[in-house]
Structure 1
Amino acid sequence: MIFENNLHFAQQLDKQDILASFRSEFLIPEKNGEQLIYFCGNSLGLQPRTAVVEITKQLAIWQNHAVEGWFDGDQNWLNYHDEIKELLAPIVGAKPTEVTCMNSLTVNLHLLLTSFYQPKGKKIKILMEGGAFPSDQYAIESHVKTRGYEYQDAVIEIFPRDGEYTLRTEDILSKIHQHKDEIALVLLGGINYYTGQFFDLQAITKAGHEIGAMVGFDLAHAAGNVPVNLHDFDVDFACWCSYKYMNSGPGGIAGIFVHEKHFKNDFNRLAGWWGYQLDKRFKMEKGFIPESGAEGWQVSTSPILLMATHKAALKVMNDAGFENLRAKSIQLTAYLEFIINEINQEKGEEIFKIITPKNPAERGAQLSIICKENGKQTFDALVEKNIIGDWREPNVIRISPIPLYNTFEEIYKLGQALR
């Protein structure tokens, strides 16, 4: 498509948008009686209108049934997560038995590392991207230390080439094979939070398995944003949060994926009652017997109110259709890129440098932008104009047009504000 940098063109794109009606499914924040232009769904998605409906329904069950809510009715709390699994699985390219929602992201990462980081002999190392989200760095550091290793001896960090901002796939694969006798686990983010780079999950998984390593991904910025066909890609495990692209509320319940090929493996686990075999759970017997599938990694009782928000949000996503969401996301991000490049051309210099890959297959909704000067002041000025993006130290503005509720007109208005 040939884009144009004018209001009429942007409005025409919105009229042609088959997902336009979904914007009304969300509560858009307002300031001084005017709706914000919200490009921060990569940090916290907006509230679906149906969230309060689903939460109210569960509050009514609590009110009218109290503890019997766990057992009464076809949709009792004990089985409440089953429908959520059916909604969640297609979004991450998994079978329903391979996913479950539980805990928070970093808690889940710790639980999965306990099982899937299995250092043995010379193969003790974890390969990760340099500059990964701090929580991932801290989790990995704690696990290598508890196994008796020093971080510098057990972690391989891979960085972009000099003068580049993103990793080349060939460099990741080369690093894996270079250290084939040392790597026990390859663990990367599906999308790097800072640059917005979407890694080639399939190629990385294949390379990791070729050297006999486990392969997992932190999908915090990928789940609900880009296609991540975890089962078909043969990924061993993954985890994610739900409050970004899945719009499931601040601190919303997180999720995990475990490939079905591992269901019968005798893993180390940090076990808890809620992961015990369901048909024997209430016998309260000693000796942990895990429930089959990803549910065997559960630890604590399901937080029903958090799950209610998650369920409401996932229903909206499934109604929209993930293929439709991805198609619109690609077009929204392309239009944002066009608008920014137009400003640079007008000024005759690269005032706003996009460090996210140009290839749509290597990025999701987010563009990470470095201002030539006055980056934080530019970000603050956008906020003053009711345009909400995300600032990340030391010098990046992250802008994420979300296909469920952002418009092409909003991107045009962002461009006018940046000019």
Structure 2
Amino acid sequence: MTDYKLGRDYARQQDQNDPLKTYRNQFHIPKDEDGEDAVYMTGNSLGLQPKITATYVNEELESWAKLGVEGHVEGKHPWLHYHEFLTDTMADIVGAKPSEVVVMNTLTANLHFMMVSFYQPTKERYKILIESDAFPSDKYAVESQLRHHGFDDQEGLILWQPREGEELLRYEDLEAILEDQGEHIALVLIGGVNYYTGQFFNLKRITDLGHKYGCMVGFDCAHGAGNVPLNLHQSGADFAVWCTYKYLNSGPGSLAGCFVHERHGNSPELNRFTGWWSHNKKTRFNMRGAFDMLPGAEGWQLSNPPILSMAAIRASLDVFKDVGFEILVQKSKKLTGYFEFLLKDLGEDVIRIITPENPEERGCQLSIQVKNADKTLHDKLTKSGVISDWREPDVIRCAPTPLYNTFEDVYELVERLKKILNG
């Protein structure tokens, strides 16, 4: 365990010794009202823009301007194969084989496409299990899938809930649910990192448990990709989805990622929606033959993708590739541990951290509750130049992102919070 110390000098010393210190300069940092760098703590909501993004996007605009349609095959990065430029690094980040990963569509669209394949209800086995405080779009999506298949969206939805007076979920309670109703559950769908509490789940444990009872198992890794080591292949999960605009810094509303375990990748009998981008690349433009499915996760694509969005993703992934994900996780644990240390120094009668204390059970985000506070506290924090995130009823989410946040950022956040509380 790191021996943290109080005071700004310690924070500055840590920044000086940080092997990743130069990467902050590779991002655009928002400014506060005084023109100084804001304390930006919402990489869990929208990651900052790498400075190389404009170059990467403009390169494709230039190809379009100069080559027109020929940019599909003649550009520096031909559009026809553009998603392939993203695959290897993305696979490294989520812990998968390249054949198991593809960048396509957007997050909830991918979730629906995965459920087309992996939610195959019967009269006896049709229920879907999710965590009770799943991100709302996941809940909406599974409810609509239940209705689409003719089931009651309340009766068919099972919630894994925290115990009374607690925020974090217990695996024993999940085991009890599956032991009681496992034969009726078709799909277990859990957020890899819960957006509200920041709890990072043991994906393999959940997968093994779901498979034990004959359920398909998938994960929404929107708050995990680029944040924690997901190890999707080793988890054995049937599928996973994630966005790229949070920790992967690809820009608002950018394309999403999708994982399909290799045991499903070449299964022609597995139900799926298809389009011409899931057709054999070699014969795709012949236009006359019968459908010939691509193997692996690529076989779930539908249409040719938006290249400008993919260019922004490639820019961010090139930064990740240069850094290396393992060293990023090491800094993340140290930085968030320092944040936790400073918050605890304020006193547990003032601040309560609902995110797990064990670094292996969380990413960089800490979700904090301030005693007797409401949203006005968050508003004051924002006015002080701290960009954080408020979630009803009483949680402020802060995510010191290791690529561009510093120890002094964390120190400054807590100092400004302290000043407001002592106001």
How high is the TM-score relative to the length of structure 2?
A: 0.96
1:388 equivalent in structure 2 = 387
Contact kept, 8 Å, 2:63 with 2:75, in 1: the verdict is no
In the alignment, residue 301 of structure 1 is paired with which amino acid? N
C-alpha distance in 2 between matches for 1:13 and 1:49: 24
Question: Match of 2:178?
Answer: 176
What whole-Å deviation, never above 9, does each CA across 1:120-144 have from its counterpart, x for those lacking one? 2411111110021110011101111
User: Deviation at 1:287?
Assistant: 4.6
Deviation at 1:296, TM superposition (A): 1.0
Residue 14 of structure 1: CA displacement?
Answer: 0.9
Q: Which aligned pairs between 1:274-285 and structure 2 lie closer than 5 A?
A: 274-285=277-288
> In the alignment, which residue of structure 1 is the partner of 2:88?
86
Name stretches of at least 5 consecutive residues in structure 1 with no aligned partner.
none
Partner in structure 2 of residue 410 of structure 1: 409
Kept after mapping to 1: 8 A contact 2:368/2:395:
yes
What is the SS of the residue equivalent to 1:398?
strand
Pick from 160, 163, 167: which aligns with 2:162? 160
CA drift of 1:285 comes to 3.2
Are residue 372 (structure 1) and residue 371 (structure 2) matched?
A: yes
Aligned to 1:370, the other structure's residue is in SS state: strand
**TM-score, normalised via structure 1 length:** 0.97
Over the matched positions of the two proteins, sequence identity in percent amounts to: 49
Choose 70-79 or 238-247, whichever is displaced more. 70-79
Equivalences for 1:202-351 in 2 at 5 Å?
202-265=204-267, 266-285=269-288, 287-344=290-347, 350-351=349-350
SS of residue matched to 1:185: strand
- In 1: Cα distance, 2:45 partner to 2:289 partner: 42
Partner SS state of residue 83, structure 2 = helix
Q: Is the 8 A contact 2:67 2:75 kept in 1?
A: no
**Contact 1:177 1:207 (C-alpha < 8 Å) held by counterparts:** no
Deviations 1:347-382 (A, max 9, x none): xx5212111111111110100111112231111111
Kept in 1, the 8 Å contact 2:125–2:183? The answer is: yes
- For 2:138 and 2:161, how far apart are their aligned partners in 1? 16
**What letter corresponds to residue 353 of structure 2 in structure 1?**
I
Inter-partner Cα distance in structure 2 for 1:150 and 1:288: 35
Query: Is residue 127–residue 176 contact of structure 1 (8 Å, CA) maintained in 2?
Result: no
Deviations 1:175-218 (A, max 9, x none): 22332211111100001111111111010001111111111000
**Where in structure 2 are the equivalents of 1:94-133 lying within 5 Å?**
94-133=96-135
What amino acid is aligned across from residue 308 of structure 1 in structure 2? Answer: A
Q: Partner letter of residue 280 of structure 1?
A: T
Partner of residue 76, structure 1: 78
How far did residue 245 of structure 1 move? Answer: 0.3
Question: Residue 413 of structure 1 aligns to which amino acid in structure 2?
Answer: E
User: Aligned partners of 1:74 and 1:175: how far apart in 2?
Assistant: 53
Question: What secondary structure is seen at the aligned counterpart in 1 of 2:283?
Answer: helix
The whole-number CA distance in structure 1 between the counterparts of 2:54 and 2:170 is 44
Counterpart-to-counterpart distance in 2, 1:282 and 1:174: 52
Measured in 2, the distance between the counterparts of 1:106 and 1:272 equals: 18
Which residue matches 1:352? 351
Runs of 4 or more above 4 Å deviation:
none
1:308 deviation in Å? 0.2
Name the residue aligned to 1:399: 398
Is residue 2:3 matched to residue 1:2?
yes
The offset of 1:301, in angstroms, is 1.4
> CA contact under 8 A between 1:169 and 1:200: conserved in structure 2?
no
Shift of 1:74: 6.5
Pairwise CA distance, 1:169: 2.0
CA distance in 1, matches of 2:28, 2:246: 15
Residue in structure 1 matched with residue 146 of structure 2 by the alignment: 144
Residue 120 of structure 2 contacts residue 186 of structure 2 at CA under 8 Å; is this kept in 1? yes
- Superposed CA offset, 1:35-70 (max 9, x none): 111000000000001101111111111111110111
Segment drifting more, 35-44 vs 7-16? 7-16
Give me the CA root mean square deviation.
1.2
Q: CA deviation at 1:286?
A: 6.4
SS at match of 2:352: strand
